[in-house]
Amino acid sequence: MKVYEFLARRSWPRTFSGKILLVSFLGVHVPMFGAAAYALLADSTPFLQQLDVLAAMLVATLLGTAATMGVLHALLAPVRRASEAADGYLRHRTVPRLPTRYTDGAGVLMASVQECITRLDTTLAAAERRHDDLERDHVETFRMLSGLKHDFRTPLTHILGFAEIMRAEAIGPLGSDAYRQYAGRIGTTGQELLTTLQSVIDLSDAQVQAQLTEDSVTLDLAEAAREAIALEHLHAEKRGVQVDIEAPAAVQVRAVPEATRNLLSALSQAAVAGAPENGRVVLTVSARGDCSVRSVGGQLMREDLPRQMSGPVEGTFDSSAGNGANAPESASPMALRLSLIDTLGTALGRHVRVRQTDGDGFEIAVMQAPLDVEMPAAA
User: Do 122 and 90 contact (CB within 8 A), yes or no?
Assistant: no
In tens, the pLDDT along 194-234 reads 666 666 655 555 555 665 666 788 889 999 999 988 888 87
Map out the domains of the chain with their CATH numbers.
Answer: 2-75 (no CATH), 218-367 (3.30.565.10)
Q: Rounded CA gap, 67 and 73, in Å?
A: 10
User: Do 343 and 260 contact (CB within 8 A), yes or no?
Assistant: no
Quickly state the pLDDT bin for 354 (edges 50, 70, 90). Answer: very high
Go through 132-141 and write b for each residue having 16 or more CB atoms within 10 A of its CB, e for each that does not.
Answer: eeeeeeeeee
Q: For residue 152, what is the DSSP state?
A: I
pLDDT at 139: 60
Note the Cα 227 to chain centre separation in Å: 12
Give the pLDDT mean for 316-331.
60
Asked which of 132-141, 229-238, 258-267, 292-301 is least confident by mean pLDDT, the reply is 132-141
Quickly state the pLDDT bin for 150 (edges 50, 70, 90). Answer: low
Stated length of the chain: 379
In tens, the pLDDT along 49-105 reads 667 767 777 777 778 777 777 777 787 888 888 888 888 888 888 888 888 888 887
Residue 274 has pLDDT above 70, yes or no: yes
In tens, the pLDDT along 165-175 reads 777 776 777 77
- Residue of 78, 119, 120, 117 lying closest to 99 (CA atoms): 78
Q: Rounded CA gap, 73 and 360, in Å?
A: 50
Residue 6 has pLDDT above 50, yes or no: yes
Residue 142 has pLDDT above 80, yes or no: no
Q: Rounded CA gap, 167 and 326, in Å?
A: 49
- Residue of 320, 321, 281 lying closest to 298 (CA atoms): 281
Task: Round the average pLDDT of the chain to a whole number and report it.
Answer: 77
Residue 177 has pLDDT above 60, yes or no: yes
Give the pLDDT mean for 327-334.
59
Give the pLDDT mean for 3-25.
71
- Residue of 117, 128, 126 lying closest to 87 (CA atoms): 117
pLDDT at 374: 41
Backbone angles phi and psi of 170, in degrees to 5: -70, -35
Residue 376 has pLDDT above 60, yes or no: no
Residue 379 has pLDDT above 50, yes or no: no
Q: How many CB atoms lie within 10 A of CB 94?
A: 13
Give the pLDDT mean for 91-120.
86
Residue 253, CA atoms < 13 Å, CB-side half-sphere: 23
pTM, full prediction? 0.47
Asked which of 212-226, 245-259, 310-324, 356-370 is least confident by mean pLDDT, the reply is 310-324
